[in-house]
Amino acid sequence: MNTDQMEGKWKQMKGALKTKWGKLTDDDLKIIEGNRDQLTGIVQERYGVAKEEAQKQVDEWKRTQKDYDTDRTDRDLNRRAS
């Protein structure tokens, strides 16, 4: 996958994230930049839910994202976690 394709996928993912969690801001999405832990933390903060609930929501959202390359999505959401 070339750089343009990767950027396009992230743009699509950002749109899907904002659809799911409307309280996420553009600044939040810049912070997240594909990092699953960051996404979980921001969902937890914005929605006032426990860490486990935020993780459950992120995991469920990820499972529903069939329009994206699953391996790529996993890498995006985990690349900074390690």
Q: Are 29 and 14 a contacting pair, CB within 8 Å?
A: yes
Domain span including residue 15: 3-78
pTM metric for this prediction: 0.71
* CATH of residue 37: 1.10.1470.10
pLDDT attached to residue 80: 46
Residues 82, 35: Cα–Cα separation, whole Å: 10
Residues 60, 54: Cα–Cα separation, whole Å: 10
Q: What is the pLDDT of residues 36-75, one digit of tens each?
A: 899 999 999 999 999 999 999 999 998 888 755 545 555 5
Provide the domain count of the chain. Answer: 1
